[in-house]
Structure 1
Amino acid sequence: MIIIVDGLNKHMFQPLLDDMFRLRARVFAGRLGWEVNIEDDKEIDQFDHMDPGYIIGVDEDMNVISCARVLQTTGPHMLSDVFNAILCGQDPVRSPNIWESTRFCVDTQRLKGEKSKHTVSTATCELMLGILEYAQDNGITDIVTVIDPVMDRVLKRSNNAPHGYVGETVPMGKVKALAALLDCTDERIANVREFAGIDGEIFVSEEEALKKLELRQIAQEMCLAALPDNELDLEAISKPGASLTDLREYCFDQLAKAETEAEMSAAVALMEMLSDKIGASDAEELQRLARKLPRSAEETRAKLTRSA
């Protein structure tokens, strides 16, 4: 799923942006070894303060799995102000209909088990589509992007080959860099969709995304508030990106370990808040438990151990 965050809605999605900036730090500073600015485990540069658009890929639990940034070329942008050596003296790209895409990255660690029939992951292709379809919807005719030769090959393998290049391929730190042009046409979008086998809508609405984020936040806060004595488990479950499956298993574990009626009530309350995500049979079990409380801790543990 793809969500768009920009200057109009960023105030609603700060937790998602923070996760995105942390992913960028892990990829660009950690995995690639780039010399980028890291603050509080987040990679943020001067162009992030210019209200760009962010194309953010998320999984079902709203964990950030990919991201890219798009910025108008009529003002400062990376090709004109940072990677201008690529231009070799040419004037930078300046057009209201050509935007720059940068900071393209995918969380390969989180997606390590992802199945794909191609060497290019589905998440990578979905992010490409997110950029192209967002651009097309906003009257952008072309995307210019600074890439290395590896990414150039990825684009070509995924039916998304650049239709042209700007400037020359030049050494840029430890790698070479070049600027590619991608037209945002129906044909290009259809080619990438066909390659990746992606059908239907890829964008998630603001309303649905906010609901999912709120659910995740409530679950994590409830874990922290309800069971303060279990510090080790709480530290693990309250990390950003904890999945609803993790929370479900965590709550069952806490119910099984409960020693007092207060501990059982706290864990049941948390699971009730997640009941629409953990399956009908579990939700029915939660309702039954809520009706039966208080009951002996030993009986509850035995019952839940059998049902889990």
Structure 2
Amino acid sequence: MIDILTNVDRRARAEDFDAMHLLRGRVFKDRLGWEVDCRDGRERDAFDDLDPTYLLAFGPTGAVAGSWRLLPTTGPYMMKDTEAFHPLLKDGEAPRRPRLWEASRFAVDMGSGSDGGLAAVGQITAELFHGLVEHCMAEGIEEILTVYDRRIARLLPRVGCHPLWTVGPMPIGGVPTHAGLFDAGPAMLAAIREATGISGSVVGHAPWRKGQAA
């Protein structure tokens, strides 16, 4: 199940937020070796202070097992405001549209599938993609822009996600890196469902869930 949170939820969901930052530290610093800022094993950057939206996935044991971060392109966001990513900008310009958001810091803990093996890890990944599109459709977000590495590029076809356009791979920080623009509407949701076998909602808590049944 996916919970969709903002910084407003940090106090009430402090343990889950802490687990998310620890997860990001394990994935980006320890496993992938990225040059990221980690303190006490927790990865966090300046974009976490800009009131992003977070998707948190929970594994078989109930622990945070995956996450994603969303920022609107009408304000600061990683691809626009991180100089290293500028070569990935299509036509050299950073998009800025109300219905286009950036997804970043995608992380899934390989250890989270210990009770269910790789199938559990695959299910967590599938639910994160499905939950992302569910959220976008509920909030009127039509497109997602994201920077991703080779591991995600290989994963995308398996979950039914095909970019509207893509740039790269280009070496950024020693990592072959892509950028892509993705539809976030009903056609994408249908493609994810066909590829993953998910048939219903995967979202539990969300701001737009108020007054709805999960």
What is the aligned partner in structure 2 of residue 188 from structure 1?
188
What is the aligned partner in structure 2 of residue 106 from structure 1?
108
Confirm or deny: 8 A CA contact 1:88 1:168 kept in the other structure.
Answer: no
- The reply on whether 1:18 has 2:22 as its aligned counterpart is no
Aligned length: 204
Aligned counterparts of 1:60 and 1:4: Cα–Cα separation in 2: 18
Aligned counterparts of 2:9 and 2:200: Cα–Cα separation in 1: 24
Confirm or deny: 8 A CA contact 1:87 1:168 kept in the other structure.
Answer: no
Higher relative contact order (CA 8 A, sep 6+): 2
Aligned partner of residue 69 in structure 1, secondary structure: strand
What is the aligned partner in structure 2 of residue 132 from structure 1?
133
Confirm or deny: 8 A CA contact 2:27 2:109 kept in the other structure.
Answer: yes
Cα 1:176/1:197, change in 2 over 3 Å? same
Structure 1 segments unaligned to the other structure (5+ residues): 207-308
What is the aligned partner in structure 2 of residue 241 from structure 1?
none
Aligned counterparts of 1:14 and 1:113: Cα–Cα separation in 2: 25
Aligned counterparts of 2:31 and 2:118: Cα–Cα separation in 1: 22
Confirm or deny: 8 A CA contact 1:156 1:162 kept in the other structure.
Answer: no
Shift of 1:113: 4.7
What is the aligned partner in structure 2 of residue 171 from structure 1?
171
Q: Deviations over 1:210-256 (max 9, x none)?
A: xxxxxxxxxxxxxxxxxxxxxxxxxxxxxxxxxxxxxxxxxxxxxxx
What is the aligned partner in structure 2 of residue 94 from structure 1?
96
Q: TM-score, normalised by structure 1?
A: 0.62
Aligned partner of residue 178 in structure 1, secondary structure: strand
Confirm or deny: 8 A CA contact 2:24 2:107 kept in the other structure.
Answer: yes
Range that drifts further, 63-72 or 153-162: 153-162
Confirm or deny: 8 A CA contact 1:47 1:77 kept in the other structure.
Answer: yes
Cα 1:30/1:117, change in 2 over 3 Å? closer
Shift of 1:32: 0.1
- The reply on whether 1:75 has 2:88 as its aligned counterpart is no
- Select the structure that is richer in strand: 2
Shift of 1:88: 6.9
Confirm or deny: 8 A CA contact 2:5 2:55 kept in the other structure.
Answer: yes
Shift of 1:58: 1.0
Aligned partner of residue 133 in structure 2, secondary structure: helix
Cα 1:133/1:25, change in 2 over 3 Å? same
What's the C-alpha RMSD, in Å, of the aligned pairs? 2.0
Rg comparison, structure with higher value: 1
Shift of 1:97: 0.5
What is the aligned partner in structure 2 of residue 158 from structure 1?
159
- The reply on whether 1:121 has 2:161 as its aligned counterpart is no
Structure 2 segments unaligned to the other structure (5+ residues): 207-214
Aligned counterparts of 1:116 and 1:161: Cα–Cα separation in 2: 23
Shift of 1:157: 2.2
Q: Deviations over 1:1-54 (max 9, x none)?
A: 000111333331121000000000000000000010001221000000001000
Aligned partner of residue 170 in structure 1, secondary structure: strand
What is the aligned partner in structure 2 of residue 9 from structure 1?
9
Q: Deviations over 1:256-296 (max 9, x none)?
A: xxxxxxxxxxxxxxxxxxxxxxxxxxxxxxxxxxxxxxxxx
- Select the structure that is richer in helix: 1
Q: Deviations over 1:101-137 (max 9, x none)?
A: 000010111214535679x811111011111111111
Pairing of 1:30-45 with structure 2 (within 5 A): 30-45=30-45
Shift of 1:93: 1.2
